Amino acid sequence: MAQAANNTFASLTSWIELRGGWPEFIWGLVILSLSFNVYGPGRPQPGDFMLLGLLCVPILVVRFQMPAAIKLPVFSLATFVLYVFACNFVWAAATGEWDFFKASAFYAFNFSVFLGYLVMLGDRGDDWLRWTLYGFAASLLMLALLSIPFSDRVESGRLELFFVNPNQLAYHVLLCASIVVMLAPRYKVPRLVLYGLLACAVYIELRTYSRAGLLGIALLAAIQFAHRPTLVTIVALPVLVLALYLDLQALDTDLWEHRVETIQQSTTEDYITDRGIDRLYEHPEYLIAGAGEGYHLRFHHNKLEIHSSAANLVFSYGLIGTILFLIFLRLLSVAAGARLTLLMIPALSYSLFHQGMRARPFWILLALALGLGVLTAIEASRARNKPPLTLADR
């Protein structure tokens, strides 16, 4: 028995080392853990503690010289995060409320995940990207399989599995699929396999009754396989945004009636109020420097936060914070290239009507687009018989 166990472990070790190493294997497990919310909303999850050890600690111990194409977007994102801290600190001091620091902690940790991913990519190279593909592809397959024995984990008939609500599951699946589609061409994933993974994503989105999720997956597939992906995106994006709106407005059946419990009438005004978006025009005095992200009792008797990443960004951090984040996205898109930028659009669009900037895979998606775009450019430069470069070059 002991000999068999030793042989199995030796075989596993050989297989892992052949495909990268133990850090990559652990990274795959960390990715899988992101699909489980154990301790409830707004609290650190098991996956967060694993991310802390695997991505955040290496920032301090791994020696890695970032190329200029990566440094500029990272610096711009760091500037935005510093403004988040400054804005929340000022409002915490002014109101005496401490929950502003919770939002700052989210941004600090997510920035560390973003930066840590780039550091590990620079240190581990292609193996890190390959296991990123393995991990998120396995997540799609795992969630589809888990939906069978755990079909009772629903909210008003909508599948939520191990997430706080169905919308979180739908967004997570869209992020997983986006990352898989980003990496599929690099590792020549067979179309049949990719179709199967996208089918898993579609199945889960159907179970969550997320129209936006379904259209997001469809747009990803179109960008991947269309000959003119930019044109496809331009045509499909208005449809996706409309689906996002209707996804929250559809209250014509019992299943959809409980999706937003506080809505009493299915009107645009009630929808805007329920999502907290009305603060943008009711309190314009905060639109320059921001109201900070906390002490929501100032604006809603139930302490409701704004359920839209875009609206929350504008209201909480004003035009200053919004411009800083848009500068980061602009620099990121330049470094990532047209294809990877297009592949980020479904996830960015989904967060227009949901609070999506706290999701860890969202920041991994941004880091992946940046790192993969720069790495691809370096390889193209090498192919043109220019001096050989690596991601770790200055």
> Each residue of 126-138: pLDDT tens digit?
999 999 999 999 9
CB 138 within 8 A of CB 34: no
Q: Is 159 inside a domain boundary? A: yes
Q: How confident is the model at residue 250 (pLDDT cuts 50, 70, 90)?
A: very low
User: How does pLDDT run across 96-128, given as a tens digit for each residue?
Assistant: 999 899 999 999 999 999 999 999 999 898 999
- The predicted structure's pLDDT at residue 40: 81
Q: Is 56 inside a domain boundary? A: yes
User: How does pLDDT run across 273-328, given as a tens digit for each residue?
Assistant: 767 788 888 899 999 999 999 988 888 777 778 888 999 999 999 999 999 999 99
- The predicted structure's pLDDT at residue 278: 84
Indicate the residue type of 296.
H
Is the pLDDT confidence value at 224 over 90? no
Give the range of the structural domain holding residue 132, as residue numbers without chain letter: 24-34+46-383
Q: Is 2 inside a domain boundary? A: no
- The predicted structure's pLDDT at residue 275: 72
- The predicted structure's pLDDT at residue 254: 45
- The predicted structure's pLDDT at residue 203: 92
Is the pLDDT confidence value at 330 over 90? yes
- The predicted structure's pLDDT at residue 176: 97
Indicate the residue type of 63.
R
Is the pLDDT confidence value at 252 over 50? no
Q: Is 10 inside a domain boundary? A: no
Name the phi and psi angles at 158, rounded to 5. -100, 130
Q: Is 389 inside a domain boundary? A: no
Instruction: Supply the mean pLDDT for the chain.
Output: 84
Residues with Cβ within 8 Å of 239's Cβ and at least 6 positions away in sequence, in order, are 215
Q: Is 13 inside a domain boundary? A: no
- The predicted structure's pLDDT at residue 245: 62
Tally of structural domains, the chain: 1
Q: Is 79 inside a domain boundary? A: yes
CB 292 within 8 A of CB 85: no
- The predicted structure's pLDDT at residue 290: 94
Q: Is 9 inside a domain boundary? A: no
Tell me how far CA of residue 341 lies from CA of 46, 156, 200, in angstroms: 30, 35, 24
- The predicted structure's pLDDT at residue 271: 60
Q: How confident is the model at residue 227 (pLDDT cuts 50, 70, 90)?
A: low
pTM of the model: 0.87
